[in-house]
Structure 1
């Protein structure tokens, strides 16, 4: 159920970007979604996000920047080794120059560059570019 929630949230972000909106509100929320958005913020794809009332259903308000072309969450389980991350990135992302694959590892939720630095494999959550 968690990956479906993440996928619906990422699709809402893409749709809002295509319509030229400045913000989008996401409901329901999860901790994985917050980690995914933190990576997007650190890499400069969104301006910021705020979490409201995380103990109940909650909501996240995301400030968009206009840089996102596409972002998706994998709804199936995709295990990946640390040595296969670069090959997977080249296969999934449309260009070699930008975009990130987000992986959940034993060290937390990381993008592909951090996972390669720490040589940590895990499960692919999704990607954005």
Structure 2
């Protein structure tokens, strides 16, 4: 596991989807992971999730919708301006019609559409 908590959790969800499971159990957890799952729930990629014991190692049970094809986390930091988000999205996503890029910003964890709407000036890290 180590420092790649979000990437390992996303791989667990993708593998559970490919095997046809209805739920996935994620452990350990982080605040960024919870924010990411809120975005996935809002966009309809997962049904719901439940956090158990968030003050210790913690566990999350995620009810899968069957819509996740691929999901990855980029572990290196990238600085982007709000005007560069669209170019970054077309470079990172396989198609223009589907998918979201989720970035961590000074305003919190946002998907690319919300980040453009809020016109955040600087982005730290990125994920898809």
Deviation, 1:80, is 1.3
Q: For structure 1, which segment, 3-12 or 19-28, has the greater mean C-alpha deviation from structure 2 after superposition?
A: 3-12
Deviation, 1:2, is 8.0
Task: Map residues 29-108 of structure 1 onto 2, 5 A cutoff.
Answer: 29-108=29-108
* RMSD, aligned CA: 1.4
SS of the residue corresponding to residue 4 of structure 2 reads helix
Deviation, 1:107, is 1.0
Pair 107,2 (structure 1): closer, same or farther in 2 beyond 3 Å: farther
Q: Is the CA contact 1:82–1:116 (under 8 Å) kept in the aligned structure 2? A: yes
Q: TM-score, normalised by structure 1?
A: 0.94
| Over 3 Å off, 4+ runs | none
SS of the residue corresponding to residue 97 of structure 1 reads coil
Deviation, 1:79, is 1.7
Q: For structure 1, which segment, 77-86 or 35-44, has the greater mean C-alpha deviation from structure 2 after superposition?
A: 77-86
SS of the residue corresponding to residue 47 of structure 1 reads strand
2:4 pairs with 1:4 = yes
Q: Is the CA contact 1:2–1:30 (under 8 Å) kept in the aligned structure 2? A: no
Q: TM-score, normalised by structure 2?
A: 0.95
Structure 1 runs not aligned, ≥5 long = none
SS of the residue corresponding to residue 103 of structure 2 reads strand
Aligned equivalents of 2:48, 2:57: Cα separation in 1: 20
Aligned equivalents of 1:75, 1:124: Cα separation in 2: 7
Aligned equivalents of 2:31, 2:71: Cα separation in 1: 18
Q: Is the CA contact 1:102–1:124 (under 8 Å) kept in the aligned structure 2? A: no
Structure 2 runs not aligned, ≥5 long = none
